[in-house]
Amino acid sequence: MPEQRPPAGIDPRSGFCAATRTFHSLRSSATLPPDSLPATAAAYAFSLLSSPLPGRPALVDAATGIAVSYPSFLAAVRSLAGGLWSALGVRPGDVALVVSPSRLEVPVLDFALMSIGAAVSPANPASTADEFAHMVALSRPAVAFAVPEVAAKLPRSLRCVVIGSDEYTRLSSAGGASPPPPVAVKQSDTAAVLYSSGTTGRVKAVAVAHRNLIALICAHRENREKMAKEAAEAGEQPLPPTVTLFPLPLFHVFGFMMLLRSVAMGETAVLMERFDFGAALRAIERYRVTLLPAAPPVLVAMIKSEEARRRDLSSLLVIGIGGAPLGREVAERFAAVFPNIELVQGYGLTESSGSVASTVGPEETKAYGSVGKLASHMEAKIVDPATGEALGPGQRGELWVRGPVIMKGYVGDDEATAATMNSEGWLKTGDLCYFNEDGFLYIVDRLKELIKYKGYQVPPAELEHILNSHPDILDAAVIPYPDEDVGQLPMAFIVRKPGGTVQESPPSGLCLCNTKITCWEDLAAGAYTAGRVHGCLQALRFMLTWKYRRKVLCVVPDSGFVHAAAVFRLTRVFLAER
């Protein structure tokens, strides 16, 4: 998106204002509707669709090829909304828990709920009964919608409609005869209750307003229109209609936001129930996918995959990276193997409705390692965690952000809300970051996940980037392990490539000169191949809620998954075949 001329006092390169110690977005400001105008995010998204409606599918099931047209999608949303209102008694302000893999029913249900002013509360189907009980205690849903295999894990006191049941089918068709009455929903009302990943504690329920989602839609629309205009002025061919593959779960903020964007822009969303790398490659080829949202491990897998080279991926124009920082090494290797695919890096949190910064256009994409520049209407500060001092370009500190996409707060947890948001509307992200002189944002790591080694603060993500650069390593995760002599040791969990040479000795060819670890002697020899560690890594490997992974892995060494008979100089290295 083109940058606008900044006001006086704001540096035109970095967006930094020395007087206020604040970084400002230099993007053109997307036009937002007046906040006094009653509107739901669903209604606003539908208002942007062309007339007549787009002729391409709105939704496609990647496994079966079943497609839902835009007229059918809107009709299904209206009918289900009527059933929810008349037959189930769902009203504005009610919270509805939605527990399902990414199936065709989910977008219809999400939009139907939002359209009548109810709040969608999507949850991970893999959650335990205790985790569901905690979510329900926070968000207090009036009703739940769940697939059959999950319904039994929900609290018995909660009204539950099983997706796909006769009752659900009746609800879906009931509204045809009795559509819901018009409802006046404020943009400040809650549109969704999303569950945070729980990196630093138990899961929290994040209240996202319709205004937050409308601001996201506006930014995407402004971006698309300006890029299309620039392409036309340059005499370039218009891009083909966007077809997005959704390997990411719709219960996660990344998936939820991307689905909302896809519908508002009249694009096609190809849904996968669960991520499978080979199936994703086949889907890209079959459905001529142009956009793939993904986490960095997917890029690593593509670089190292022979199948990715065999498949016809020529339709794929953009991969949108989220969920974790993308290292320069991985980005450069990917660009060398797939030069025609643009990498769009971005950064967001559940608490920011998923969007704080991103790269836009091929030139910004070349700023490898950065997550881009601040999004439209956003402000940021870099704050010294020890002193509270706001820092300038090139200095590391905790990232604080403010703007129209920031959450209302944590539902049922005023203490956590007060600790995370201050009275001036600043959201404290908990991420160690810095801006460079050109206004690009760099994520170093989570502040609470830094490894404290002999007084040094070692970011696990930096070690993971280095490990992932090795051709025989498919994936790696690094966590802290207590040590009485040095404080904490980095512990690496590694998934090795089938047939690779990584064994009990450290893999050769890795350079650790950019970290506090200076040689492979420090990443000492020794490994265990343990079935349950293998299973743990496989289950976690491509989770797009990447923050969960380290939290779960931290319990592995003391959980009986592996024995801990050997102690190494700086780390213990566990290996698992893919």
Confirm whether 251 is domain-assigned. Answer: no
Yes or no: say if 318 and 344 are a contact pair by the CB < 8 Å rule. yes
Confirm whether 539 is domain-assigned. Answer: yes
Tell me: do 168 and 71 sit in the same domain.
Answer: yes
Confirm whether 143 is domain-assigned. Answer: yes
Surface-to-core class of residue 411, CB atoms within 10 Å of its CB (0-12 exposed, 13-18 middle, 19+ buried): buried
Q: Rounded distance, CA 97 to CA 174, Å?
A: 21
Domain boundary among 154, 180, 209: 209
459 DSSP 8-state letter? -
Instruction: Give me the sign of the Cα torsion angle 533, 539, 543, 547.
Output: negative
Tell me: do 363 and 427 sit in the same domain.
Answer: yes
Cis peptide before 52 (omega within 30 of 0): yes
Q: Rounded distance, CA 118 to CA 109, Å?
A: 11
What six digits make up the tokens of 68?
A: 């839902």
Tell me: do 440 and 566 sit in the same domain.
Answer: no
Model pLDDT, residue 215 = 95
Confirm whether 242 is domain-assigned. Answer: no
Residue type, 409: G
The rounded radius of gyration (Å) of the Cα atoms in the chain is 24
Encode burial over 79-98: b for 16+ CB neighbours within 10 A, e otherwise: bbbbbbbbebebebebbbbb
Q: What angle do CA 313, 319, 320 make, to 5 degrees?
A: 160
Which residue blocks in 208-344 are alpha helix, DSSP H? 210-233, 253-264, 277-287, 296-304, 306-310, 328-337
Length of the chain (residues): 578
Number of domains within the chain: 3
Instruction: Dump pLDDT digits (tens) for 89-119.
Output: 999 999 999 999 999 999 999 999 999 999 9
Q: How far is CA 483 from the centre of its chain?
A: 33
Which of these, 166, 186, 175, 165, lies nearest to 119 by C-alpha position? 186
Strand partners, 192: 120, 208
Sheet of strand 205-209, all strands in order from the earlier edge strand to the far edge: 160-162, 143-146, 95-99, 119-123, 190-195, 205-209, 409-410
Tell me: do 190 and 317 sit in the same domain.
Answer: no
Residue type, 59: L
Residues 6+ apart with CB under 8 A from 309: 337
Tell me: do 287 and 436 sit in the same domain.
Answer: yes
Residues 6+ apart with CB under 8 A from 486: 453, 454
Strand partners, 488: 482
Q: Rounded distance, CA 407 to CA 125, Å?
A: 24
Tell me: do 99 and 176 sit in the same domain.
Answer: yes
Strand partners, 481: 489
Tell me: do 336 and 192 sit in the same domain.
Answer: no
Q: What is the DSSP string of 461-474?
A: HHHHHHHHTSTTEE
Confirm whether 98 is domain-assigned. Answer: yes
Cα dihedral 214, 216, 219, 224 in deg (nearest 10): -100
Instruction: Dump pLDDT digits (tens) for 353-410.
Output: 988 999 988 888 888 889 999 999 999 999 999 999 999 999 999 999 999 999 999 9
Residues spanned by the domain of 149: 41-209
Residues 6+ apart with CB under 8 A from 20: none
Tell me: do 333 and 427 sit in the same domain.
Answer: yes
| Residues lower than pLDDT 50 in the chain | 1-2, 198-200, 504-548, 555-578
List the CATH number of the domain containing 371. Answer: 3.40.50.12780
Confirm whether 253 is domain-assigned. Answer: no
Tell me: do 98 and 129 sit in the same domain.
Answer: yes
Q: What angle do CA 397, 400, 403 make, to 5 degrees?
A: 155
Tell me: do 440 and 470 sit in the same domain.
Answer: no
List the CATH number of the domain containing 60. Answer: 3.40.50.980
Domain boundary among 209, 227, 261: 209
Tell me: do 479 and 385 sit in the same domain.
Answer: no
For residue 13, how many other CB atoms are within 10 A of its CB?
14
Confirm whether 271 is domain-assigned. Answer: no
What six digits make up the tokens of 427?
A: 């959201």
Q: Rounded distance, CA 474 to CA 550, Å?
A: 17
Name the strand (E) or helix (H) holding 319: strand 318-321
Phi/psi region, residue 21 (left: phi>0; alpha: psi -120 to 50; beta: rest), is left
Strand partners, 357: 347, 374
The overall pTM is greater than 0.85 = no
Domain boundary among 183, 209, 235: 209
Tell me: do 464 and 361 sit in the same domain.
Answer: no
Model pLDDT, residue 199 = 43
SS3 337: helix
- How far apart, in Å, are the Cα atoms of 516 and each of 99, 274, 459, 482? 43, 37, 9, 17
Model pLDDT, residue 457 = 62
569 DSSP 8-state letter? S
List the CATH number of the domain containing 501. Answer: 3.30.300
